[in-house]
Structure 1
Amino acid sequence: MRILVLNADYSRFLAWLYRREPGLEGASYAAQMAARNASLFGLADFYSRNFATLGHPAAEIHVNNPRLQAAWAREHGMAFDAPQDVAERPTFPGWLERAVTPFKPILRPLARKVGLSPKLDQQAENILLAQIEEFRPDLVLNQDVFHVDTRLMRRIKGIGSPILIGQVGIEPSRGEDWGIYDLLISQLPTTAKFFRTLGVRAEVNHLAFEPAILDALPAAPATDVDVSFVGSISLDHRQRIALLEAVAERYDLKLWGNRPQALPASSPLHRCFQGEVWGVDMYQVLRRSRITLNSHIDLAGREAGNMRLFEATGVGAFLLTDFKDNLDTLFAGDREVAVWRSIDECLQRIEHHLSHDEGRAAIARAGQARTLAQHTYRHRAAEILGFVDGIRGSR
């Protein structure tokens, strides 16, 4: 079975990648893909390499990387316009971001429905469809259902009628033709349940860690950071901001991520920001940390499953994460990860674990062992292949 995985990257990451390697935009498709995967950012080639190991030829396409896609078009004799600079996400005044926050649950689905969410332009669509024509997949795994929306997936379905699987890790749009998919997967059980209410087949399939990262990383750095947080901070993360501000008032917290414009000038977080880190640099920050924090996005509700759970434990970092109802299905609380249920409890746990090096190291080792034993992309790929067997059996 031939498998094609569709991904999309953050515009800030793409800007960083091409700024870091001058001339990369003029390199071959294979060279650009190799550089992108070597960064170890996000999903890289983790799904395709594990599908291949399990006996299924597989490839990845980064659908919103104009430089990479232009290289493919050039090498295949397609006419195309030269790509523009990788754009940063538009920024807005802080007062405007604060004003629209209460309406985001209403505005997001509406924006997606009227076409304001990220989508590919016509040229990008044409290149993608040509790539699918050439590869002729039996299965398409779409990791970005907004850039590659259901309308475009219907066109992809018309190219050899592959099995279509979509991965949805955030609040799904209403009014979409989700029935085009043979299966939708999510790390959030409530999202899977939502799709089932629409009559669409859906399963829980968690995020993961790629063990090959451990071989690719430089030597482990000294643990010179008491408390870290690596990730996004925005108005979608109110609980996270409240937690981090409380931690910053008491401890030497260091933050690696974006600095939101809407953050009040009085916030203690301003002095904590260290800039953004991607891939290899992010993993090294996690390894430098005596304690690294996790706080899920607000819309996750009472369900655990974000990428940070697996990235941090995978590289052997000590993770202090927020309690969720399903956390024990992933990790044993206070044996494989440390857990907090309130801001006060988080502060107490930080105090305790900073002064208990051996106990902290034991939890970190156990967390890494659990991830490597049960939460790798090999496990997730095998699980997806099992779902595919079920789809085929029901046809």
Structure 2
Amino acid sequence: MDHKLMRVAVIGQVYPEASARYLSKWFRQLGHEAEIFVAPSTFGISRFRPDLINRVLERSIRLTLELSTSASMRAEKRMAGKVLEWSPDLVVTFDAHLWPDTVRILRAQGAKVVLWFLDALVNFGRQIMFLAPYDQIFLKDPYMVRYCSKVASLPARFLPEACDPEVHRPIEPAPAELISDVAMIGNIHPSRVRLLEQLLDFDVKIWGRLWPRWLESPVEAKHMGRFLAGDEKAMAMRCSKAVLNNLHYGEIESSNCRMFEAAGCGAFQLAEWRPGFDELFRDGEEIVYYRSAGELRDLLEFWLERDEERRAVGDAARARAHTEHTFERRIEKLLEVTF
């Protein structure tokens, strides 16, 4: 369905790989006007300081706002005022913590206001989104879609994450330091470490934010001490033998952004299984799913020796991701449902 060209305000964060950046970019690619308005809890710090100090400051500001309801509301009203000055036709927020009054203000001039929440349900916080008058709520977890629509009677629809084919694409060759038998890209938390401790005898490289000081584990020796983005991330995903996608336990039936990014890069991906994943990528043909640590070890031992077969799976994943799981396709669905 064709839609008129619109002015789209995107509320979110602005670090290099933020979903708000990808979404606004692809709205513009499709001919719309799009502008990012920084979520009040970040104050735009990540635009300038993408390091440890930035994260500490950002978390401190977010905690201060959460502790001070009035300060949070004032910050959001200032942000909403800037959005309305821009006169958007559509507002898409990735921030599920906007106060209901903020959403009402954003709708005051007739714009449609939708939430696209791309985090696990454990990060709903105070669940303010259940009380906010959104025109539509898009969620990546089918379980939460069912709950929100059937129990909470909210206008909730399923819309998973996506890849950007201009960023998430096969790049090779890669420098030796980016290549390993198993690449794991993401944050470190105890449940993930518990799994990785069972893979210490494999050639694993872990890429992501700094290792937590309080967490003691031999897995730390596998951590490369830095975050990968852009071409480096694409090269590590494509050129390592396998990308391990271990999901947070809060992903009840949902995937994460790495599933689509790794697929877009043509990686051979071993992903933790969830119900419904075969509808996203076919098991054994586009992605290989594991259901236990023991099965993961068996799959690694089987697939690491099969270079041509792994490459064929990665190529099939890239074709599927670049066809069905792009931000352009997600925008089409969002507009179809909202308008």
TM-score range normalised by the length of the shorter chain: 0.7 to 0.9
**1:39-88 deviations in whole A, cap 9, x for unaligned?**
4x1325321232234343222223355357999xxxxxxxxxxxxx7451
- Could you say which residue in structure 2 is the equivalent of 1:308? 258
Match of 1:137 among 69, 88, 101: 88
* Contact 1:63/1:124 (<8 A) preserved: no
**1:333-386 deviations in whole A, cap 9, x for unaligned?**
011011211111101111111111011111110111110111000100000010
**CA–CA distance in structure 2, aligned partners of residues 296 and 163 of structure 1:** 33
C-alpha displacement of 1:116: 4.2
Match of 1:255 among 173, 182, 206: 206
**CA–CA distance in structure 2, aligned partners of residues 276 and 149 of structure 1:** 35
**1:296-316 deviations in whole A, cap 9, x for unaligned?**
110112x13210100111111
| Amino acid across the alignment from 2:240 | S
Matched, 1:333 2:283: yes
Query: Structure 1 residues 187 and 134 mapped into 2: Cα distance closer, same or farther (>3 Å)?
Result: same
TM-score normalised per structure 2:
0.83
- Could you say which residue in structure 1 is the equivalent of 2:23? 47
TM-score normalised per structure 1:
0.72
**CA–CA distance in structure 2, aligned partners of residues 344 and 380 of structure 1:** 35
Q: For the aligned residues, what is the CA RMSD?
A: 3.1
Match of 1:355 among 300, 305, 309: 305
**CA–CA distance in structure 1, aligned partners of residues 296 and 102 of structure 2:** 45
* Contact 2:96/2:129 (<8 A) preserved: no
Query: Structure 1 residues 353 and 321 mapped into 2: Cα distance closer, same or farther (>3 Å)?
Result: same
Residue ranges of structure 1 left out of the alignment (5+ in a row): 14-38, 72-84, 92-110, 390-395
- Could you say which residue in structure 2 is the equivalent of 1:213? 167
- Could you say which residue in structure 1 is the equivalent of 2:185? 230
Query: Structure 1 residues 125 and 86 mapped into 2: Cα distance closer, same or farther (>3 Å)?
Result: farther
* Contact 2:116/2:139 (<8 A) preserved: yes
- Could you say which residue in structure 1 is the equivalent of 2:9? 4
Runs of 4+ off more than 6 Å: 68-71, 117-120
Residue ranges of structure 2 left out of the alignment (5+ in a row): 1-5
| Amino acid across the alignment from 2:338 | V
Matched, 1:200 2:151: no
* Contact 1:140/1:163 (<8 A) preserved: yes
Matched length: 317
C-alpha displacement of 1:260: 2.7
Match of 2:56 among 88, 94, 107: 88
* Contact 2:268/2:310 (<8 A) preserved: yes
Choose 1 or 2 for highest CA Rg: 1
Query: Structure 1 residues 336 and 149 mapped into 2: Cα distance closer, same or farther (>3 Å)?
Result: same
Matched, 1:66 2:43: yes
**CA–CA distance in structure 2, aligned partners of residues 51 and 246 of structure 1:** 43
Query: Structure 1 residues 150 and 232 mapped into 2: Cα distance closer, same or farther (>3 Å)?
Result: farther
- Could you say which residue in structure 1 is the equivalent of 2:143? 190
- Could you say which residue in structure 2 is the equivalent of 1:165? 114
**CA–CA distance in structure 2, aligned partners of residues 218 and 364 of structure 1:** 12
Query: Structure 1 residues 178 and 194 mapped into 2: Cα distance closer, same or farther (>3 Å)?
Result: farther
**CA–CA distance in structure 2, aligned partners of residues 152 and 360 of structure 1:** 48
- 3-state SS, counterpart of residue 282 of structure 2: coil
- Could you say which residue in structure 2 is the equivalent of 1:57? 33
Provide the identity percentage. Answer: 25
**CA–CA distance in structure 2, aligned partners of residues 370 and 200 of structure 1:** 31
Query: Structure 1 residues 284 and 201 mapped into 2: Cα distance closer, same or farther (>3 Å)?
Result: same
